[in-house]
Amino acid sequence: MCGHQHSCHQNCGGCSASLSRRRFLGRAAAGAGLIGGLASCSHAHAEEKTKPRVGVVFASKPVNVGDEVWPYPGYEREPRIREVLDALRKGCPDIEFVSYWSEDPEDRRRYEAEIKDVDGILLHVMTLHWEFKGSMAQMAGFGKPMIVSDEFLGGSGVFLTGLPALLDTGKVAAVSTTRLADLVTVARCFTKAKEVDQQAFAKMAMHEYRKTFATSGEMNTLDDPIDIPPISEVVDALRKKQFLVIGAGTKAIEVDVLGTKAIYRGFEELDAYYQEIDPEAVEEKADSWIARAEKVVEPERKPITEAARVALAIRKLLAKHDTDTITMNCLGGFNQGKLPAYPCLGFTDLLDEGGHGVCEAQPDDTLSMYIARLLTGRSGFVSDPVLDTSKNQIIYAHCMAPTKMLGTDTEGSRFKIRSLHNRDPRGACVQSFMPDGYMTTTFRTDYRRKTLILHRAKAVGNLDSERGCRSQLVGEVDGDIERLMRHWYAWHRVTVYGDIKEPLVELADALGLKVIEEA
């Protein structure tokens, strides 16, 4: 954990100390040293001592097959670290950048001592390891001018969810872009690191960052009329709704979620149904998925058939509880051996048919998906969003997605069957290529905070990146993209096709929720 567990060491051209592979990328990685110490080498040039010294902290850990971590298993950090450092040093010749990357848990005290010798900190969040949120907060507490930046479809969840509290204090600047030149532009503000305090630096850096933003284009979207029902009917439907939450705890309890009933259960009931599924029905379901897919990329047949068996068992469980809506601790249940296969393919079927299969045992996501259906007759798409200010875009990424975003009676989008983001060969999901040209509304309720957060974006295509989750809808943000960085106390959002801002605001008022327009 950067700032908690890592250490920093000297490694400039003339240093002769022996360096372990665990702590350093190696001398061969960068002639004069890819990893520089936060304490200056004794033979540094005199003129360099007058430059502001900035510690570049690369928050990253290895990503192995099966890890529920972005960007992807086997991600090679060294080339990217080298690229970032090279761009900073070439683009900011009046600043001395010393880099820090180590995974040694013994050296926290040494790092905290050495960080006092730098004039500024640039924390680049590279991989999705949640402990780095603590590192962000800790380093902001050092009182140094500070920039936090996101490795696109890499550390994005940590970056977004760790930022709001820091941005509220005015102590850090934040950069989320696919264009490395933008980070260099903001980093040039470190030339003033010795002259200004944290807050003044953050204000100056954000001012320079905004100059790099893409301008928002015209929101000319395809005609898409939606017949919105009376809000009183929506509220009434919510009060009659119940849904299952599987695998989030062991107690069988019921929870009121803004009028709906969340029924919590373990995996035992599902497993009982799994054991009795007809093998012929399993093969038929697997065949239907394969036949409809544009291509089966990574998965062999077995994970698809296992997913089919789980999907059929889920249908029986839903029938028992008289509901068409379920959310499940899918990742945890599978990793603990309590769930025999990932439910993603079966959840896609539910969404396309008018029901709801929702990832990660999330009541608020599930409620938001049901609200999207009630208002539009369409499925929502739960995602982990990522921001790219260089294009004024937001990418909604997840490994479980519908193919019929425009309604159950539509033909649906093309899709491929893929492994999940963790590249586990036992998993299978759809990579859905959703339609573009439409206005979308993205929102999420929070029943504990009594809030509803929303923004709008024009669907402009689908990213097909090996980083992050498999389905990646791209939206052009309608509004101020910087504001989006200030509201991610929870990473997930639900995107639905159609402009439903006004009915959502009306519904929030009826439910007693505070509305936060986040863009």
Q: Mind listing the pLDDT tens digit for each residue in 169-184? A: 999 999 999 999 999 9
Q: Is residue 36 part of a domain?
A: yes
Q: List the beta bridge partners of residue 459.
A: 475
pLDDT band at 111 (very low <50, low <70, confident <90, very high): low
Count of domains observed in the chain: 2
Check pLDDT > 70 for residue 314: yes
- Provide the 3-class DSSP secondary structure of residue 489: coil
In whole numbers, what is the pLDDT of the chain averaged over residues? 89
Q: Is residue 20 part of a domain?
A: no
Pick from 210, 240, 265: which residue ends a domain? Answer: 210
**Location of structure tokens 């990217």:** 80
Q: How far is CA 483 from CA 110, 391, 425, in A?
A: 36, 15, 39
Say whether both 160 and 275 belong to one domain.
no
- Rounded to the nearest 5 percent, the helix, strand and coil shares of the chain are 35, 20, 45
Say whether both 141 and 94 belong to one domain.
yes
Structure tokens at 208: 């320079």
Structure tokens at 329: 């601790």
Q: Is residue 222 part of a domain?
A: no
Structure tokens at 16: 């002769």
Structure tokens at 161: 């969810």
Q: Is residue 195 part of a domain?
A: yes
Q: Which domain holds residue 339?
A: 231-517
Task: Kindly state the average pLDDT of the residues 290-303.
Answer: 98
Q: Is residue 221 part of a domain?
A: no
pLDDT band at 110 (very low <50, low <70, confident <90, very high): low
Check pLDDT > 80 for residue 455: yes
DSSP character for 27?
G
Q: Which of 60-69, 107-116, 150-159, 468-477 has the lowest mean pLDDT?
A: 107-116
Say whether both 166 and 294 belong to one domain.
no
Task: Kindly state the average pLDDT of the residues 148-173.
Answer: 96
Task: Kindly state the average pLDDT of the residues 151-160.
Answer: 97
Nearest to 2 by CA among 134, 106, 166: 134
Nearest to 331 by CA among 127, 67, 70, 133: 67
Q: Is residue 8 part of a domain?
A: no
Structure tokens at 488: 């991610």
Q: Is residue 14 part of a domain?
A: no
CA 406 to chain CA mean position, Å: 24
CA distance 106 to 104: 5
Sign (positive/negative) of CA torsion 149, 154, 157, 162? negative
